């Protein structure tokens, strides 16, 4: 693998992991929000 | 009584603020990251010694800066929480740990990838890399501790104390390359100037700001979760959700 491909993969992996964390944070928040709204409706 | 109302109003405002800014912040961050990546990979010239591989610098250095800044942020909030018992500081602290962990992981990952062609090895136990690895373990420790207690208050106190004690590692990481003989190079940007050419340097702040925006978006979502998770009475949840 040449150096430029290594650089490209590094950048892709970096943004992937950061966005994965955002996705998990968002999912966790959405689930909690849904639970709270259901509790309020009950 | 008044203290309780004040706490509720602050949390309510913080929740609403992050409801508005999280998504725009994420979009600005992603756009900035793509722009900085394009500039770093396709626009900047290759380095005379390291050729193409030096371009990893533009994601490695901002990640390193953020991993240390976030830890300082944790320690400051831990201190504020222990002294003034402000609930919002504990929420800030808990919301930033996972972001610090991911950036420390990225520093180690990008450093290893960069190290192979330049040093001939993915890993070496030199002072800079070892102290950064310890920071990574500290973040994991804080995350594990946070979920080990059933009471928020106990968890917040323990995590705050550990965050403050652990801050001793930040100057060690920073000055490790000066105090010890390391394979890792010494600081490229100092108060006396930069060893990176100005032509290449401008991409670094763009990437740093982009990553800051994305971090802010993650931070916002974590804060919103923490506020809901800690709002233990129905009236408060109703207030937070409905304004």
Evaluate if residue A22 carries a pLDDT over 70. Answer: yes
Q: How far is residue B27's CA from residue B220's CA, in Å, rounded to a whole number?
A: 14
Provide mean pLDDT across the span B72-90.
Answer: 95
Structure tokens at B53: 């591989």
A6 and B117 within 8 Å at the Cβ level: the answer is: yes
Q: How far is residue A33's CA from residue B227's CA, in Å, rounded to a whole number?
A: 10
Total domains present in chain A = 1
For the stretch B29-41, pLDDT in tens is 999 999 999 999 9
Question: Cα distance from A42 to chain B (closest Cα, Å)?
Answer: 11
Chain A residues within 8 A of B59 when measuring between CB atoms: 10-11, 14
A22 and B26 within 8 Å at the Cβ level: the answer is: yes
Evaluate if residue B194 carries a pLDDT over 80. Answer: no
Give the three-state DSSP class for B195: coil
Task: Identify the pLDDT of residue B150.
Answer: 87
A17 and B106 within 8 Å at the Cβ level: the answer is: yes
Structure tokens at A31: 């689930």
Contacts 24+ apart (CB under 8 A), B114-118: B114/A10, B114/B53, B114/B56, B114/B57, B114/B60, B117/A3, B117/A6, B117/B50, B117/B53, B118/B50, B118/B53
* Extended beta strands in chain B, E state: 189-190, 193-194
Which pTM does this prediction carry? Answer: 0.93
Domain that holds residue A6: 1-42
How many interchain CB pairs under 8 A, A with B?
87
**In this complex, which of B53, B222, B224 lies closest to A6 when CB atoms are compared?**
B53
**Among chain A residues, CA nearest to B37:** A11
Q: How far is residue B168's CA from residue B150's CA, in Å, rounded to a whole number?
A: 28
For the stretch B103-145, pLDDT in tens is 999 999 999 999 999 999 999 999 999 999 999 999 999 999 9
Question: Cα distance from B50 to chain A (closest Cα, Å)?
Answer: 10
Domain ranges of chain B: 2-184+197-242
B222 and A29 within 8 Å at the Cβ level: the answer is: yes
A25 and B109 within 8 Å at the Cβ level: the answer is: no
Q: How far is residue A19's CA from residue B225's CA, in Å, rounded to a whole number?
A: 17
Chain B residues within 8 A of A3 when measuring between CB atoms: 51-53, 117
């Amino acid at each position: 693998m040449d150096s430029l491909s290594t650089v490209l993969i590094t950048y892709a992996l970096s943004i992937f992991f950061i966005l994965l964390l955002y996705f998990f944070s968002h999912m966790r928040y959405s689930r909690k929000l849904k639970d709270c709204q259901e509790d309020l409706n009950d | 009584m008044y203290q309780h109302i004040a706490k509720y109003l602050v949390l309510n405002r913080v929740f609403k603020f992050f409801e508005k800014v999280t998504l725009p912040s994420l979009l600005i961050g992603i756009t900035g990251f793509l722009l900085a990546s394009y500039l770093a990979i396709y626009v900047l010239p290759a380095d005379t010694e390291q050729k193409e591989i030096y371009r990893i610098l533009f994601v490695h250095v901002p990640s390193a800066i953020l991993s240390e800044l976030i830890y300082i942020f944790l320690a400051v909030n831990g201190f504020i929480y222990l002294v003034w018992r402000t609930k919002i500081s504990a929420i800030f602290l808990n919301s930033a740990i996972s972001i610090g962990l991911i950036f420390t992981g990225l520093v180690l990952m990008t450093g290893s990838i960069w190290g192979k062609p330049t040093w001939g090895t993915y890993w070496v136990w030199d002072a800079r890399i070892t102290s950064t690895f310890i920071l990574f373990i500290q973040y994991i420790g804080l995350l594990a501790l946070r979920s080990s207690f059933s009471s928020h208050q106990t968890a917040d106190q323990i995590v705050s104390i550990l965050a403050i004690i652990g801050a001793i590692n930040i100057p060690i990481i920073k000055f490790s390359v000066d105090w010890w003989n390391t394979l890792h190079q010494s600081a490229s940007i100092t108060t006396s100037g930069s060893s990176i050419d100005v032509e290449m340097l401008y991409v670094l702040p763009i990437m740093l700001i982009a990553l800051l925006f994305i971090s802010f978006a993650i931070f916002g979502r974590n804060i919103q979760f923490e506020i809901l998770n800690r709002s233990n009475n129905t009236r408060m949840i109703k207030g937070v959700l409905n304004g």
